[in-house]
Chains A and B, each alone.
Chain A
Amino acid sequence: MSEPPPPCLTTRDLNLWYAKFQALINVTLDIRHGIITSLIGPSGCGKTTLLRCFNRVNERYGYVTTTGEIRILNKNIYDPDVSLVELRKSVGMVFQRPNPLPISVYENVVFGLRIHHPRGTLTRPEMDDAVERALTEVGLWKDLKDHLDRKATTLQLEQQQKLCIARLLPLKPEVILMDEPCSALDVEGTRAIEELMFALKGRYTIVIVTHNMAQARRASDECIFMLLGELIEHSRTEDLFLNPKNPRTAEYIEGRYG
């Protein structure tokens, strides 16, 4: 086996409370650069909460209290000098239901650029270039290059989800977080998104939350099993599924509870 890539995203003793309810308990993990890491576990185990910590978007949903630290590229994202705008620019998220904005395909892709540039500083060629590159990267360019002014909400679900991924790319993210990105898609759509994940890994660190154990097994390099807010096991995906070290992991992947 080759030298493991360096960690891109690490947490140390991460605890998180929604008001009085503790959703994450002493989570410590190292997610390595450029691979796909999946988060699995039964509903309510804190997978999505943990994912939302990585770009601190949790804080938009209500009262959360966090202790511990999260480092991305060795920078603690809870440091006072961290700008949430800049953080979310490099740590993008893809959701369960594709959520393109009700504007054109083109405008969806350049949306992030517009948000992060003062008015009037983006030139048309720059934007055209960004759109072509992002759509090419997610494999939509061939289908959509003549339909860039089409309303994004009228695309097929699979295309919408790819577009949501493409929307992150012009911002040159480090990490792409995916919260059950395939659960609204059919078999073909799921396959397409998984293939896209494989194509994107290496350049981006991908963390995916999934309910679907088979998907975690197929589509991730490393796998993290969580239960009731705690990290139970983190190892290479094949090890976790073939030789789980913790009996609770073994019972979960055997389907004894879920």
Chain B
Amino acid sequence: MFAETPFVRDKRRSETTAKWVFFAMAGSMILPLLLIVVFLFVKAAPSLRVDFLLDIPRRGMTEGGIWPAFVGTIYLVFISLAVSAPIGILAAVYLNEYARDNWLNRLINLAVINLAGVPSIVHALFGLGAFVYAARFGYSILSASLTLAIMTLPVIIASTREALASVPMSFREACWNVGATRWQTIRSVVLPNSISGILTGVILQVSRAAGETAPIMFTGAVFFKAVQKGDLFAYNLNEQCMALSMHLYTISTQVPGVRESVPFATAVVLLGSVLLVNAAAIALRAHMRARKKW
């Protein structure tokens, strides 16, 4: 009675195999991350000092620190998100809360999806044509930030829509049925309950904006720029700037005689600051999650 037949045994075995294969694939994700981090830190160790962060590159970029590139990246990331976050969030609110299913809104959706699929080198060319030349912003932080903003915009729209869609429909119904307008509903119920998801989506774009090289190379990042050591307000909007991603590329491939640990230390700073921002995003999300319950 109820004994296992050979057919059932085979099924059970393939079930076990399948589970382990799937687990192995998922589990193998840990390995590359661990290897990257360990490898980077070991290689970078000789150069990792606070002064490496605060100092400017010296001796034709073969020695010294990375301060101008670090500040440049902060400028680019901050300005590009300051532009793309409000536009993206408002657009997503329209698409999720107001838009009905008609040809215009389908067209907008299509545009957003396709914009997300444009390769960054094409964004770079577009930025060059639109901001550097047509808008006459020149090769500048402004042009580079705007190019990055356009690149991050579709992803911000998508993540914001997801956050908005996770607010239960019943909350909106509750509002509508006491006579709230759509805007009152959005302001008093939808946004307060989705703001943590929206912010997380925006902050996760920091890593993309900080890591992209092509768009800023074409529009405003330079090889070298002389600034004061440790000066946080090193650049003007209409100036070109250095950036970590570009700097990493330059010292790794274009400059002879750089100490081996310098590019790795640069990578550690780039990765470290991005991970730090992401961790902050997760903490913020956890904090805001804890305050809401449904």
B177 contact set on A, CB distance < 8 A: 55, 57, 88, 92-93, 168
Q: How large is the interface on B (under 10, 10 to 19, 20 to 34, 35 or more residues)?
A: 20 to 34
Q: How far is the CB of B95 from chain A (nearest CB, A)?
A: 15
B179 contact set on A, CB distance < 8 A: 84-89, 112, 115-116, 171
The proximity string for B residues 41-70 relative to A, scoring 1 for CB distances below 8 Å and 0 otherwise, is 000000000000000000000000000000
Q: A167 in the interface, Cβ–Cβ < 8 Å?
A: yes
Within 8 A of A (CB), among B277-294: 292-294
Given A153-B293, A153-B294, answer yes or no on A112-B171 (Cβ-Cβ < 8 Å). Answer: no
Within 8 A of B (CB), among A156-171: 164, 167-168, 171
Task: Please report the C-alpha to C-alpha distance between residue A51 and residue B70 in the assembled complex, in whole angstroms.
Answer: 61
The proximity string for A residues 40-60 relative to B, scoring 1 for CB distances below 8 Å and 0 otherwise, is 000000000000000101001
Within 8 A of A (CB), among B185-210: 188-189, 193
Q: B260 in the interface, Cβ–Cβ < 8 Å?
A: no
How many pairs of residues, A versus B, come closer than 8 Å at their CB atoms?
67
Given A84-B179, A153-B294, A154-B293, answer yes or no on A99-B174 (Cβ-Cβ < 8 Å). Answer: yes
B184 contact set on A, CB distance < 8 A: 115
Task: Please report the C-alpha to C-alpha distance between residue A62 and residue B181 in the assembled complex, in whole angstroms.
Answer: 16
Q: How large is the interface on A (under 10, 10 to 19, 20 to 34, 35 or more residues)?
A: 20 to 34
Q: A100 in the interface, Cβ–Cβ < 8 Å?
A: yes
Within 8 A of A (CB), among B162-187: 168, 170-171, 173-181, 184
Residue in contact with B293 in the complex, picked from A93, A116, A151, A171, CB distance below 8 Å? A151
A interface, by DSSP: helix, strand, loop or mixed?
A: helix
Residue in contact with B193 in the complex, picked from A85, A102, A115, CB distance below 8 Å? A102
Given A102-B171, A154-B293, answer yes or no on A63-B178 (Cβ-Cβ < 8 Å). Answer: no
Are B178 and A99 in touch, CB under 8 angstroms? no
Q: B259 in the interface, Cβ–Cβ < 8 Å?
A: no
Q: B12 in the interface, Cβ–Cβ < 8 Å?
A: no
B188 contact set on A, CB distance < 8 A: 111, 114-115
Task: Please report the C-alpha to C-alpha distance between residue A86 and residue B178 in the assembled complex, in whole angstroms.
Answer: 9
Residues of A within 8 A of B (CB): 55, 57, 60, 62-63, 84-89, 92-93, 95, 97, 99-102, 111-112, 114-116, 151, 153-154, 164, 167-168, 171
The 6 closest A-B pairs by CB, nearest first: A99-B170, A88-B179, A112-B178, A93-B177, A89-B179, A85-B179
29 A-B pairs in the complex with CB atoms less than 8 angstroms apart: A57-B173, A57-B177, A62-B101, A85-B179, A85-B180, A85-B181, A87-B179, A88-B176, A88-B178, A88-B179, A89-B179, A93-B173, A93-B177, A95-B170, A95-B174, A99-B171, A99-B174, A101-B174, A101-B175, A101-B189, A102-B193, A102-B294, A112-B178, A114-B188, A115-B175, A115-B180, A115-B184, A168-B178, A171-B179
